[in-house]
Amino acid sequence: MIIYGSSLSPFVRKTIVFAEEKGLDFEVVMAGGQGGPPEFFQASPFGKMPGFKDGDFLISDSTAIITYMDAIKPEPNLIPTEAKARARTIWYEEFGDTIVAGCGGKIFFNRIVSPKFFGKPGDLAAADEAQRTEFPKLIDYLERVLPASGYLVEDRFTLADIAVVSPLVTMGHAACTVDDGSHPKSAAYVARISERPAFAKLIAQEKAALAA
């Protein structure tokens, strides 16, 4: 199996962590930003990362890839089967992918991607504005819904935790982190989930790449 993309993307990181936690055998091939091998563009017709290949099967979109991985390897279970827990897991995936990553994109793109990878100054005012006005609402919500167990669904580690923490890791690379004074549960949650080996390995690689 091949996952195409860079783990700096919250969607690629989500897919890699899911594959790692499932115990799947895969490799990561760099692609995205209009670059990458032909298979990446066959997998991802609009050039968005992640792309994915398993034998002759090609597909893109983190949710589609994760759906495939879960179907071919149901255990360990990371997407609950009980109806309400399953729906809540997909809600948190959507919250991470759309709401958190939407805010994170403005911050990470303008502070890191544009200057570092495109050689153009980012719109720092837009990044600051997103951190000042959008980010607190997301973390207020997380602080409200986090159960005492420290896991979003079924009091155990699921896709919900991967999907919500992944974009927060990307924002953390761009100096947008959860304040443990105002949001102690969320700060401890992000730190604990990020320490799982699958996340920690990527975060270390990403920090080294960004420092280079």
Residues that bind ligand GSH in the complex, under the rule CB under 6 A? 9, 11, 32, 47-50, 61-63, 97
Residue 46: CB minimum distance to ligand GSH, A: 7
- Residue nearer to ligand GSH on the CB measure, 48 or 156: 48
- Residue nearer to ligand GSH on the CB measure, 48 or 86: 48
Residue 174: CB minimum distance to ligand GSH, A: 13
DSSP states of the chain as a string? -EEES-TTSHHHHHHHHHHHHHT---EEE--BTTBS-HHHHHH-TT-PSPEEEETTEEEE-HHHHHHHHHHH---S--S--SHHHHHHHHHHHHIIIIIIHHHHHHHHIIIIIIIIISSS---HHHHHHIIIIIHHHHHHHHHHH--TTS-SBTTB--HHHHHHHHHHHHHHTTT----TTT-HHHHHHHHHHHTSHHHHHHHHHHHHHHH-
Residue 11: CB minimum distance to ligand GSH, A: 4
- Residue nearer to ligand GSH on the CB measure, 108 or 189: 108
Residue 106: CB minimum distance to ligand GSH, A: 12
- Residue nearer to ligand GSH on the CB measure, 156 or 205: 205
